[in-house]
Amino acid sequence: MHTRTLGQGLHVSAIGLGCMGMSQSYGPNPGDRRAMIGVLRGAVEAGITFFDTAEVYGPFVNEELVGEALRPVREEVVIATKFGWDIRNGTSLGLDSSPARIKTVAEESLRRLGVDSIDLFYQHRVDPNVPIEEVAGAVGELVQAGKVRHFGLSEAAAGTIRKAHAVFPVTAVQSEYSLWTRDPEREVLPTLAELGIGFVPFSPLGKGFLTGTVNPTTAFTDGDIRATIPRFTSENRAANQALVDHVARLAAAKNATSGQIALAWLLAQQPWIAPIPGTRRRSRVEENAAATSVPLSADELADLNTIANRIGVFGDRYNEAQMGFVGR
C-alpha cells in the first residue's frame, strides 16, 4: 500500500484502521481478545500502518488492546489516540480539555499503549470551556517533552482549527466524511488545504451503510449505536438506499465491492486524506486495504458526485444530544 503525508510530514498508510468497534458501539463486543489482536496484526500484514484509538473507547480497554497487538511492530506503525473527556469510574461525564487533564491523559495513554511517545494526539471534541489556544499550548508542551509527536483535532470547525494552528501546528483533523456526509467540504477542507493540514475521515463507509450490508430491514442488536442515529431509522434507510444501489452498480462494473468504491472516492478527493474504516474482521481489513488499487476515472467521480448531490441524504448523522459535541 502506498503512503500519504498528513501535516508536519507525518507519513501514514493511505487506508488506516479505526479500532473503536473492537471495544464498543456496534453491538455485543467481541469476546475473543486474541481474535481482535489477530485482526490488528493482520492489518499490518495488509500494509496498514495507521491505527486510531481513544481513551474513551471502552473506556480504556481499546488502547490496551491496540497497544498489546502492535507492540511487536511498534516502529512500523503510527498510533493515534485522543483526549478530552472527564471519565470517572468508567463513565464519561462530559468534556474536559483542561491543560492538567490533557497531561494526565497523555501519561495514562502512554502506559496503556505501552509506548514511549504518542504519534498523533487528538482533542476528541472541542471543549467550549477551555480556549483552544490553551489546548494547543498544552499539547505543544507534551511534544517538547517528547511524549507526543503530533497534534490533532476532531470534529473542529474551521475557525477553531485556525486558532489552534496559530499556537501549535496541527497535523491532522479527524471528522466524519463520506459520499453521504459531505459537511467538511464547505469550510474545513479548504482551510486544511490552505494550512497544510491532513484530513482523516472516520466512518468513511457510512457506518456500514455504503457497503450495502445494511438495508431497511436490518435489525440492530443491543448496544449498536446506529439504533440511536436518525439517519438509520428504517424509513431513512429506505430513502437512502438509492445511493447505495448506485454505488453497487459501479462496483459490479469494476469488479470491486461497494465499500472499495466508497473508499476510492475518498482517496480521490485529496492526496492528504487518509480514511480510517473500522471493522472486526480480517477479511474486511484486506478488502478495505485493496481499495487503493481501485482507480476511478474523472467521469466516474463526477457521476458519483452528481448522484449523491441529486439524491441527498435523509436523516441527521447524530441525534440531538450527540450533535452538541460536534462542529465547534
Is the Cβ–Cβ distance between 311 and 141 less than 8 Å? Answer: no
What is the arrangement of strands in the sheet containing 120-123, beginning at the earlier edge strand?
17-18, 50-52, 78-83, 120-123, 151-154, 170-176, 198-202
> What average pLDDT score do residues 246-269 get?
98
CB atoms within 10 A of CB 45: 12
> What average pLDDT score do residues 258-285 get?
98
More confidently predicted of 321 and 138: 138
Rounded distance between C-alpha atoms, residue 10 and residue 44, angstroms: 18
More confidently predicted of 325 and 187: 187
What residues does each domain of the chain span?
Answer: 3-207+263-294
Among 100, 101, 121, 99, residue whose Cα is nearest residue 110: 121
> What average pLDDT score do residues 275-291 get?
97
| One-letter amino acid for residue 89 of the chain | N
The model's pTM is 0.96
Provide the 3-class DSSP secondary structure of residue 314: coil
Select 3-207+263-294's CATH number: 2.40.50.140, 3.20.20.100, 2.30.30.700, 3.20.20.70.
Answer: 3.20.20.100
Instruction: Work out the percent of the chain whose per-residue pLDDT is above 90.
Output: 91
**Res. 322: pLDDT tops 70:** no
Q: What is the pLDDT of residue 193?
A: 98
Residues in the chain: 328
> What average pLDDT score do residues 96-116 get?
98
Chain mean pLDDT for the chain: 95
Question: Annotated catalytic sites, by residue?
Answer: 57
**Res. 324: pLDDT tops 60:** no
pLDDT digits (tens, 9 = 90+) for 54-82: 999 999 999 999 999 999 999 999 999 99
Among 173, 176, 156, 180, residue whose Cα is nearest residue 277: 176
Which residues contact residue 82 at a Cβ distance below 8 angstroms, ignoring those fewer than 6 apart? 53, 54, 55, 56, 121, 122, 123, 124, 154
Q: Which stretches of the chain are assigned E, i.e. beta strand?
A: 3-5, 11-13, 17-18, 50-52, 78-83, 85-88, 91-95, 120-123, 151-154, 170-176, 198-202
For residue 17, the cross-strand partners are 51
> What average pLDDT score do residues 198-207 get?
98
> What average pLDDT score do residues 222-235 get?
93
Cell of 319: 441525534
- In which residue are the cell numbers 473507547 written? 57
Please, which pLDDT band fits residue 325 given cuts at 50, 70 and 90? low
